[in-house]
A and B are shown apart, each in its own frame.
Chain A
Amino acid sequence: MPLANTSTSVPVVVDEDKCIADKGCTVCVDVCPLDVLRISELTGKAYMKFDECWYCMPCEADCPTGAVTVNIPYLLK
């Protein structure tokens, strides 16, 4: 069977003005236990690539610039 892409709203938001991934920071990507964050090749900033979050928050706690916000995802809000 062929595959389709279904849209989903993801809990983690990155403030691109604050993110310094383009200076070499990868902290949030490094610490995520589920490995769901990536640095975008397009923008050079961090973003949530996979909707597989445990809302555990190391990404937010360890970001040096306060760019990351973990929200409570819609289905359990």
Chain B
Amino acid sequence: MDEITAGLSEIDCDVLVIGGGTAGPMAAYKAKMKNPDAKVVLLEKANVKRSGAISMGMDGLNNAVIPGHSTPEQYTKEITIANDGIVDQAAVLKYAENCFEMIQELDRFGIRFQKDENGDYDVKKVHHMGTYVLPMPNGETVKKALYRQLRRARILISNRYMATRLLTGKSGRIAGAIAVNTRTAEFLVVRAKTVIMSMGAAGRLGLPTSGYLFGTYENAANSGEGYAMAYHAGAKLANLECFQINPLIKDYNGPACAYVAGPFGGYTANAKGERFIECDYWSGQMMQEFYKELQSGNGPVFLRLNHLRQETADHIEHILHTVERPSRGRFHEARGTRYAQTMIEMHISEIGFCSGHSASGVFVDECARTTVPGLYAAGDMASVPHNYMLGAFTNGAIAGEDAIDFAAEVDFDAYDRADVLAEQERVLAPTRREDGIPPNQIEYKVRRLVNDYLQPPKVSKKYELAQQRFAEAREDMEQVMVARDAHELMRALEVSSILDCADMAACASLYRAESRWGLYHWRTDYPERNDDEWKCHVLLGKQDDGTMGCEKRAVQPYIVPISDDEKDAYYKQRITAEA
């Protein structure tokens, strides 16, 4: 295994789904269900059985809009406020209206949500206003259940193929994609009438302080190809300057989910064991408060459970150590930390792109359509904010159903063969060198630069320096990077996505000349929020001359209006104490 084999095959399909994590399997399934005669292909870099952010399940749904507990309108309002107003509400509202049906369908698939003793969903109130959290303490079988549905529906699954570029047609529509086998380096050219991208977050942008390239918060297979491929295909990307930064267990670098602990009475505390977070919703504002506390004399920051009954703390421990990131338990065991006794030290994550937790993604409308006809995006890489797992499922379904209809209306668009040849050349270049710099070193350097220069607070001068250094790294990547086998070639291709994402992060951040979204886009040169000029999306894209550029795009008029006193209702509560 892993030897480089030359070769290229071509296949055709109606709908090509790239990325078989969360949104992707649902998109493929829904497309196939709507038109069982259609050919639906699901392409995955890893193996659909256990790939993606949800490979070991999730602690729970963070944003379930369930009748009797919250309404779609209320949810839309809260997301609009949490995202500082930069929201096209149609997509958020559509998600909110569809997500309960998705929960019920997932339940029928055999995915386990917490129910009370009467079999009703046991929804928990975590936020101050709405009630949205539905725990999944036994949810570790989620991928198994999905995989089972895909097999039954006879979806064609291609595992261990990494997509590297999209193909666009002569008429400007999407025409397919190019992928490389991660164990043989064989090429697969997929001609497709529509393509749905669901390649997850750009999780390998910043560098975890441990120094492990793969010790990221996000699933480390999500190296940002989705963002890079969309960019090269001419699609627009929205609000990339709204970085993702998450609270996490220090050193372990995985979540210590306050959403799990909250309903039991656990909370995020400072060194005195006291709460300090004013903000109600997981957002950049909250991360700003977290960051400030870390920097202040009150830090560091902890997850506090040691005021709870031993049984309660042990129960939370049990949940956190069984699903989502079960190695949390191993980590604490090695250090001898028990939640019932000691507070758990927390920190903040490296930066990334991810709409699932923030808002940075490929620009899509409420039908998951990108700005390239026939090209869709869903999940963490699409621009619907604060979407999380249920958003990936729900919007994946929306994408699948829209794409299958689109495919019925059109024929294949012809792409240029030269594009395929050029891509083959680009991909194989590192394999044609005898020696040079291995991918892991270039990756380390780029990501270390991301930490040094792009991590907020954002300083304009540092960003300009970063751009220069990224350009040097790009030259190294193109001229001297070497890959000795197919596995290393996958890593080499990932470096190229990471570097593209780093460039995009810098470009978008420099463009938005204000501060917004708390820590996510805190610019020291423009410390204030400026609604007059910047209450708009920033769309990044490839310009006619081939360079990267940004433009403003108006926010769609709100469908669910928010009155001033409603906004105040949130802000007023956040005011810090006088004393």
Question: Known contacts being A38-B1, A50-B487, A58-B55, is A70 close to B330, with CB within 8 Å?
Answer: yes
Contact A35 B487 (CB under 8 A): yes
Specify which of B221, B251, B325 lies most central, judged by the most chain A CB atoms within 10 Å of its CB: B221
Taking CB atoms, residues of chain A closer than 8 Å to B335 are 77
Contact A56 B55 (CB under 8 A): yes
A69 to chain B, nearest CB (A): 9
Nearest to B213 among chain A residues (CB) is A52
Within 8 A of A (CB), among B18-74: 46-47, 49-52, 55-56
Provide the bound-state CA to CA distance between A3 and B183, in Å.
22
Name the interface size band of chain B: 35 or more
Taking CB atoms, residues of chain A closer than 8 Å to B487 are 35, 50
Q: Which of A31, A61, A70, A76 contacts B252 (CB 8 A)?
A: A76
Contact A1 B437 (CB under 8 A): yes
Provide the bound-state CA to CA distance between A20 and B152, in Å.
28
Specify which of A1, A31, A72, A77 lies most central, judged by the most chain B CB atoms within 10 Å of its CB: A72
A57 lies within 8 A of chain B by Cβ:
yes
Contact A61 B56 (CB under 8 A): yes
Contact A33 B327 (CB under 8 A): no
B432 to chain A, nearest CB (A): 15
Provide the bound-state CA to CA distance between A73 and B252, in Å.
10
Nearest to B491 among chain A residues (CB) is A52
Taking CB atoms, residues of chain B closer than 8 Å to A53 are 212, 214
A32 lies within 8 A of chain B by Cβ:
yes
Taking CB atoms, residues of chain B closer than 8 Å to A1 are 435-437
B338 to chain A, nearest CB (A): 16
Provide the bound-state CA to CA distance between A8 and B325, in Å.
23
Nearest to A33 among chain B residues (CB) is B46
Contact B52 A54 (CB under 8 A): no
B523 to chain A, nearest CB (A): 31
A24 lies within 8 A of chain B by Cβ:
no
Question: Known contacts being A38-B1, A56-B56, is A76 close to B50, with CB within 8 Å?
Answer: no
A46 to chain B, nearest CB (A): 13
Instruction: Convert A28-45 into 0s and 1s, putting 1 for each residue whose CB lies closer than 8 angstroms to a CB of B.
Output: 001111110010000000
A62 lies within 8 A of chain B by Cβ:
yes
Taking CB atoms, residues of chain A closer than 8 Å to B435 are 1-3
Taking CB atoms, residues of chain A closer than 8 Å to B252 are 72, 76
Provide the bound-state CA to CA distance between A52 and B252, in Å.
15
A71 lies within 8 A of chain B by Cβ:
yes
B271 lies within 8 A of chain A by Cβ:
no
B140 lies within 8 A of chain A by Cβ:
yes
Question: Known contacts being A50-B487, A72-B331, A76-B252, is A33 close to B50, with CB within 8 Å?
Answer: yes
Contact B482 A3 (CB under 8 A): yes
Provide the bound-state CA to CA distance between A36 and B208, in Å.
19
The A-B contact count (CB < 8 A) is: 99
Contact B330 A33 (CB under 8 A): no
B208 to chain A, nearest CB (A): 8
Nearest to B330 among chain A residues (CB) is A72
Provide the bound-state CA to CA distance between A38 and B219, in Å.
20
Q: Which of B50, B253, B436, B491 contacts A62 (CB 8 A)?
A: B50
B334 lies within 8 A of chain A by Cβ:
yes
Provide the bound-state CA to CA distance between A55 and B215, in Å.
8
Provide the bound-state CA to CA distance between A34 and B554, in Å.
40
Contact A76 B1 (CB under 8 A): no
Taking CB atoms, residues of chain B closer than 8 Å to A56 are 55-56, 219, 325, 327
Provide the bound-state CA to CA distance between A58 and B21, in Å.
14
Instruction: Convert B171-215 into 0s and 1s, putting 1 for each residue whose CB lies closer than 8 angstroms to a CB of A.
Output: 000000000001100000000000000000000000010111111
Within 8 A of A (CB), among B59-110: none
B473 lies within 8 A of chain A by Cβ:
no
Within 8 A of A (CB), among B201-251: 208, 210-216, 219-221, 251
Question: Known contacts being A2-B435, A35-B182, A56-B56, is A76 close to B47, with CB within 8 Å?
Answer: no
Provide the bound-state CA to CA distance between A71 and B55, in Å.
18
Provide the bound-state CA to CA distance between A42 and B55, in Å.
30
Provide the bound-state CA to CA distance between A58 and B334, in Å.
20
Provide the bound-state CA to CA distance between A66 and B212, in Å.
26
Nearest to B482 among chain A residues (CB) is A3
Question: Known contacts being A1-B435, A55-B327, is A73 close to B212, with CB within 8 Å?
Answer: yes
Contact A76 B251 (CB under 8 A): yes
Nearest to A35 among chain B residues (CB) is B182
Provide the bound-state CA to CA distance between A55 and B254, in Å.
10
Provide the bound-state CA to CA distance between A52 and B437, in Å.
18
Contact A52 B214 (CB under 8 A): yes
Provide the bound-state CA to CA distance between A7 and B253, in Å.
24
Taking CB atoms, residues of chain B closer than 8 Å to A31 are 47, 49-50, 55
Specify which of B212, B216, B252 lies most central, judged by the most chain A CB atoms within 10 Å of its CB: B212
B273 lies within 8 A of chain A by Cβ:
no
B262 lies within 8 A of chain A by Cβ:
no
The 9 closest A-B pairs by CB, nearest first: A31-B50, A58-B50, A76-B210, A33-B46, A55-B327, A54-B220, A75-B210, A33-B221, A52-B214
Q: What are 12 pairs between A and B in contact, CB < 8 Å?
A: A31-B55, A34-B220, A35-B487, A52-B213, A53-B212, A54-B214, A54-B221, A61-B140, A70-B330, A71-B330, A72-B252, A77-B335
| Contacts from B to A (Cβ < 8 Å) | 1-2, 46-47, 49-52, 55-56, 140, 159-160, 182-183, 208, 210-216, 219-221, 251-253, 325-327, 330-331, 334-335, 435-438, 482, 484, 487, 490-491
